[in-house]
Structure 1
Amino acid sequence: MLQETILQQKVERNKLIQIDYQPRCYHEQVEKYLKSNLMKLITGPRRAGKSVFSLLLLRGKRFAYLNFDDDKLLKEFDEEHIMQVLKEVYSDYDYLLLDEPQNLPNWDLWVSKLYRRGYNLIITGSNSNLLSSEMASLLTGRYLSIEILPFSLRETLEYRKSNFQPALPEDKADFMLQVEDYFHYGGYPEIINNRDITESYLKTLFDSIIMKDIVRRYKVRKVEELYQFATYMISIFTSPFTYSSITEELGLSSKTTVQKFCTYLKNCYLFFYLPRYNHKLKLMQKAPQKVYIVDNGFLSSSAFQISENKGRLLENLVLLEFIRRKYEIGKNLFYYRNQSDKEVDFVVRENNVVRQLVQVCWDMSNPKTQKREIGSLMACAKDFPNGELFVITWNEQKEITMNAKIIHVIPYYKWCLSYSRN
């Protein structure tokens, strides 16, 4: 029975590697690590393309494949028997791809054993806390971790074979329509060319994340409370919150419950929490965090009944782009509010020095809006004299000089497409 299951998974694997997929921008970075003995951890939200990315990485190479999102495999699992069957099914292989092994009880002990035996492992998982503390200690310096998010704007446009530098007005208009489509509906690969199913797809995906990645994994009993909490967090995206404020607002049983739910939703990559920058760690931990969601499609889908606010949607996209650029929330990416309650959306720290202050504003054509946004940016910039100043807009580009400082105003799409990982 186990052999039949693994044979069936091999058939599925062989079909998948024949499909012509959109290459991800992480590919070249990770491929050079394949021949090393490092364990490769590919993490990210459900349906973002982790398995496809791993298969693309291993295409043309000899590898065995086990998918632990398959209930049959979970029920039939026996660690010695499964390795024997793998030898029979694949005869010889250089890599072992384990898809979502955290669904397996005590999976980390088994994987640690495989690592010690010399297997070259590629592991995917829809949990940012993929390694237990014990396994992380064991493997310190011996694994590479990479996060796969839904498609970026660049990847979406490449997938659609868009012209990045349209010359004719009609081509520019078509290009902006595609950028706007991404702005509203996000980058989940399966719906980029099938927007008619966006609402039902994302509702089903949301339910799957809640049930499979949280309720089942963490044995949550208060399922209705969890749904209520997650839906509320979607409604306040880009807004500051504290555990106490949510506990009171939703009438939940305790602040501890809120803390747990926040952790669960963060670990499954549904939400990100951006702390307020402060030189003192204790004050930073006490300050409100701002909540962001992993894809704008969840926000624009009427399934979640979120009223559109273009400025907030744009801010959410900018946060996601920073994450794709490997900035780490709470380590070198924050928001900031000064003592006069002037706020800047993002501050970027490098080598313990704030190097960039980034404000997000949909449209600064109104002089009052420009005065407000630039005023907040300049007020906060006084605390960070080495910071380069940016305002990311929808479609405005210019430079503003104020108090001997240059403020770079740049459209979101140009900011995204100008970035190179190399």
Structure 2
Amino acid sequence: NAKLLSKELATVLTGRHIPIEIMPFNFKEFLLARNYKVDYELMPIPQKKGELLNLVEEYLIEGGFPEVIVKNLNSEEYLGILFDSILFKDVVKRYKVRFSSQIGDLTSFLVNNFSGYYSLRKLKEILSLRSVTTVEKYIEYLEEAYLIFHLERFSYKTGEKIKSPKKVYVVDNGYINAKAMRSSPDKGKLMENLVFTELVKRGFEPNRDLFYYKTRNGREVDFAIKKDLKVTELIQVSYQTSDVDTEQREIKSLLEASEELKGELLTILTWDEEKQVEKYGKVIHFVPVWKWFLSWVGRYI
């Protein structure tokens, strides 16, 4: 681990400095490390598509840490040790946290609640922490150590934004696999977490360019991307689009949000379904998540 975290580094450097954020492998880099090249002409062949989807699933579960992929390490064991080491050295020890079990419980709760909502007040009550300020401070430590991110609701009203619950995402899906307690993987939530981290890797800064959105009727849109003062793109993540009710719910959420925010680029990221749906003069693009991972600015390579 680095001797100084990014915020600390900024205080000791003089003159201009540009922080460079290095994240685990994105899907393109993961495939490169696996020596796999996507041949789009072969994708209609079930066997070839199956090979690619198996790699997507591996990436979905085990994440993109280079050491795990390049050295074929046991991801659960290696990342479990790495996570605990960062929590102790870069959080508990660095910030002299007196009640290490409390921040451990908070971290465990957040990792198990990945892609989910939380409020500072509820976390304080559930975990019997001293104050909301303590919870907020601990979460800031975890973010500074690159264990989690938080995402806020997009709203033009400052009060609404502050009062709304936040969402938590984990820096890499491999950490979730190593540390979350579950009987089976929740692939829908894992896919949402993976899409969030991909957006961050593409340079969208959470709570400045990237938000979640809730319509006036309470319909949620997973991601709203803002450029300047305007929301330009709305993204839903849906693992199970084969279910008609689920598909209609996702479409309604996008259309309602688009009407309120005037966002025109509407996307539903799926496991492997590709189509376009036109409704009320708007086009919703259903894009397989693997194809989106290999894309940039809507252009598929």
Q: Is the 8 A contact 2:67 2:73 kept in 1?
A: no
Q: 1:162 aligns with which of 36, 61, 68?
A: 36
TM-fit CA distance, 1:195: 5.4
Cα deviation 1:275-309 (Å, max 9, x = unaligned) = 000112343123211000011112223x5313521
TM-fit CA distance, 1:153: 0.7
1-structure distance, mates of 2:29, 2:73: 20
2-structure distance, mates of 1:203, 1:258: 23
> Are 1:213 and 2:87 matched, yes or no?
no
Q: Is the 8 A contact 1:243 1:255 kept in 2?
A: yes
> Are 1:402 and 2:279 matched, yes or no?
yes
Cα deviation 1:116-141 (Å, max 9, x = unaligned) = xxxxxxxxxxx342445x557x53xx
1-structure distance, mates of 2:47, 2:263: 41
2-structure distance, mates of 1:381, 1:390: 11
2-structure distance, mates of 1:309, 1:375: 23
TM-fit CA distance, 1:194: 5.4
Q: Is the 8 A contact 2:234 2:263 kept in 1?
A: no
Map residues 169-188 of structure 1 onto 2, 5 A cutoff: 169-188=46-65
Q: Is the 8 A contact 1:163 1:175 kept in 2?
A: no
Q: Is the 8 A contact 2:92 2:100 kept in 1?
A: yes
Q: Which one-letter code corresponds to 1:327 in the other structure?
A: F
Q: Which one-letter code corresponds to 1:253 in the other structure?
A: R
Map residues 79-90 of structure 1 onto 2, 5 A cutoff: none
Q: 1:261 aligns with which of 109, 122, 138?
A: 138
Q: How many residues align?
A: 295
> Are 1:305 and 2:181 matched, yes or no?
yes
1-structure distance, mates of 2:95, 2:130: 18
> Are 1:344 and 2:218 matched, yes or no?
no
Q: Is the 8 A contact 2:27 2:59 kept in 1?
A: yes
Taking structure 2 as the reference length, the TM-score comes to 0.92
Q: 1:234 aligns with which of 107, 111, 115?
A: 111
Q: Name the counterpart of 2:21.
A: 147
1-structure distance, mates of 2:55, 2:70: 11
TM-fit CA distance, 1:176: 1.5
Indicate the SS of the match to 1:272.
Answer: strand
Q: Is the 8 A contact 1:358 1:390 kept in 2?
A: yes
Q: Which one-letter code corresponds to 2:27 in the other structure?
A: L
Q: Which one-letter code corresponds to 1:143 in the other structure?
A: H
- Structure with more relative contact order (C-alpha pairs < 8 Å, separation 6 or more): 2
TM-fit CA distance, 1:214: 0.6
Indicate the SS of the match to 1:317.
Answer: helix
Task: Evaluate the alpha carbon distance shift between residue 174 and residue 193 of structure 1 in structure 2; reply closer, same or farther with a 3 A threshold.
Answer: farther
Q: Name the counterpart of 2:260.
A: 383
Q: Name the counterpart of 1:197.
A: 74
Q: 1:369 aligns with which of 246, 258, 266?
A: 246
1-structure distance, mates of 2:268, 2:206: 20
Q: Which one-letter code corresponds to 2:142 in the other structure?
A: L
Q: Name the counterpart of 2:289.
A: 412
Q: Is the 8 A contact 1:336 1:343 kept in 2?
A: yes
Greater Cα offset, 398-407 or 283-292: 283-292
Q: Is the 8 A contact 2:211 2:223 kept in 1?
A: yes
Task: Evaluate the alpha carbon distance shift between residue 314 and residue 374 of structure 1 in structure 2; reply closer, same or farther with a 3 A threshold.
Answer: same
Taking structure 1 as the reference length, the TM-score comes to 0.67
Q: Which one-letter code corresponds to 1:305 in the other structure?
A: M
| Cα RMSD for the two superposed structures | 2.0
Q: Is the 8 A contact 1:128 1:269 kept in 2?
A: no
Q: Which one-letter code corresponds to 2:208 in the other structure?
A: K
Q: Which one-letter code corresponds to 2:177 in the other structure?
A: S
Task: Evaluate the alpha carbon distance shift between residue 390 and residue 352 of structure 1 in structure 2; reply closer, same or farther with a 3 A threshold.
Answer: same
Runs (4+) of structure 1 exceeding 4 A deviation are 193-196
Q: 2:122 aligns with which of 245, 268, 271?
A: 245
Unaligned runs of 5+ in 1: 1-45, 47-99, 103-126
Cα deviation 1:209-241 (Å, max 9, x = unaligned) = 111111121111111111111001011111111
Q: Name the counterpart of 1:129.
A: 7
Q: Which one-letter code corresponds to 1:175 in the other structure?
A: L
Indicate the SS of the match to 1:410.
Answer: strand
Q: Is the 8 A contact 1:363 1:396 kept in 2?
A: no
Q: Which one-letter code corresponds to 1:147 in the other structure?
A: E
Q: Is the 8 A contact 1:327 1:333 kept in 2?
A: yes
Q: Is the 8 A contact 2:226 2:232 kept in 1?
A: yes
Q: 2:171 aligns with which of 276, 279, 294?
A: 294
TM-fit CA distance, 1:420: 7.0
User: Percent identity among equivalent residues?
Assistant: 36
2-structure distance, mates of 1:386, 1:224: 44
TM-fit CA distance, 1:171: 2.7
2-structure distance, mates of 1:149, 1:223: 26
